[in-house]
Amino acid sequence: MKAIRVHQFGGPEVLKLEELPDPQPGPEQVVIRVHAAGVNPVDAYIRTGTYVFKPNLPYTPGYDAGGMVTAIGRDVKKFKSGDRVYITESTTGTYAERALADQSKVHPLPDHVSFEQGAAMGVPYGTAYRGLFQRAHAKPGETVLIHGASGGVGTAAVQLARAAGMIVIGTAGSEDGIKLVTEQGAQYGLNHSKDGYLDELMKLTNGQGVNVIIELLANKNLGRDLTVLARNGRAIVIGSRGTVEIDPRNTMGRETDIRGVTLGSTSEPEYREMHAALTAGLENGTLRPLIGKKIPLADAARAQEEIMQPSGAHGKMVLVL
């Protein structure tokens, strides 16, 4: 099979297309033919060798994929060859024609959901779910600001929050992005690259502020986020690429919280809850992953370069095979 390999940490140029033997399943494992693999910012952080998780070299990147089961281990009962599935973790990496996954990380993909959409479920939808429900404990009727709503995690958070009955305000950095965010279900769209957009948010909430902020770029926004949270509001830090100055007094009067999220900290029971909810959302059509750029596997280096660009996100980027 063809697979992307990393033999040394570094820039995108270390991603090389190579020929490898097909993986074989252990007793509780499943092999899938990957039709689409999710490209996530974390794949690029890991490749640099400076991230908290450092794989042994050489390795194949990628956690997320949508595809078809081609082989199963002897103890696998839930899946058979030919099943359409998405996976959220792979012991061999998903930037490859075939990927090996433990059966617990394999989930059914309804017929009306594409393989590309399946490749958006693990990191983006898992993180959005964890942020909204497992960390913020957001409730129907609450107002949620998705601060960075046009990308992989943001579009997922908009759909999840809207389906759960929240009032959703989403931001993007362009007019096209705002259109996309409202099409995904946000009642209001604001432009985070324009001065004064948080004043507009305060007007939209009659001066009350929002109950929850799902923050995708905390190093830019956390200081001001604390000024637009309602009483007992929660700022949920999902993305941050540097440091930021905050005024801690802004958390005191309205007794607000700052809570971090790492998808990797999800416990097994939380993971089962998460994917029970996400597969139900795919089945009933409330979750419809929005696919942005589709890039061939051989151009994985370009994909990882583009996923780190600062603006112009448009849903989920995937590699197609």
Site residues for ligand NAP per CB under 6 A: 40-42, 123-124, 127, 147-154, 171-174, 177, 192, 216-217, 220-221, 238-239, 261-263, 307, 311-313
Q: Would the CA dihedral through 20, 61, 171, 113 be positive or negative?
A: positive
Closest distance to ligand NAP from the beta carbon of 115 (Å):
19
Q: Which is nearer to ligand NAP, 15 or 261 (CB)?
A: 261
Q: Which is nearer to ligand NAP, 72 or 301 (CB)?
A: 301
**Residue that has been written with the tokens 């926004």 in this structure:** 221
Count other Cβ atoms within 10 Å, centred on residue 77. 9
Cα separation, 290 vs 272, in Å, equals 23
Closest distance to ligand NAP from the beta carbon of 66 (Å):
16
Contact 166, 184 (CB under 8 A): no
Closest distance to ligand NAP from the beta carbon of 26 (Å):
27
Closest distance to ligand NAP from the beta carbon of 260 (Å):
7
Q: Which is nearer to ligand NAP, 84 or 234 (CB)?
A: 234
Closest distance to ligand NAP from the beta carbon of 25 (Å):
28
Give the residue at shortest CB distance from ligand NAP: 151
Q: Which is nearer to ligand NAP, 93 or 189 (CB)?
A: 189
First to last CA, the chain: 11
Q: Which is nearer to ligand NAP, 26 or 173 (CB)?
A: 173
Cross-strand bridge partners of residue 71: 31
Closest distance to ligand NAP from the beta carbon of 79 (Å):
26
Cα separation, 121 vs 237, in Å, equals 20
Backbone angles phi, psi at 278, to 5 degrees: -70, -40
- Strand ranges for the chain from DSSP E: 2-6, 15-19, 29-38, 65-72, 84-87, 98-102, 106-108, 143-147, 167-172, 188-191, 210-215, 229-237, 257-260, 291-296, 316-320
Backbone angles phi, psi at 288, to 5 degrees: -135, 80
Q: Which is nearer to ligand NAP, 262 or 284 (CB)?
A: 262
Q: Which is nearer to ligand NAP, 37 or 261 (CB)?
A: 261
Q: Which is nearer to ligand NAP, 96 or 307 (CB)?
A: 307
**Residue that has been written with the tokens 């190093």 in this structure:** 219
- Between 268-284 and 152-163, two packed helices, what is the crossing angle to 10 degrees? 80
Closest distance to ligand NAP from the beta carbon of 42 (Å):
6
Cross-strand bridge partners of residue 214: 146, 236
Backbone angles phi, psi at 132, to 5 degrees: -70, -45
Closest distance to ligand NAP from the beta carbon of 162 (Å):
16
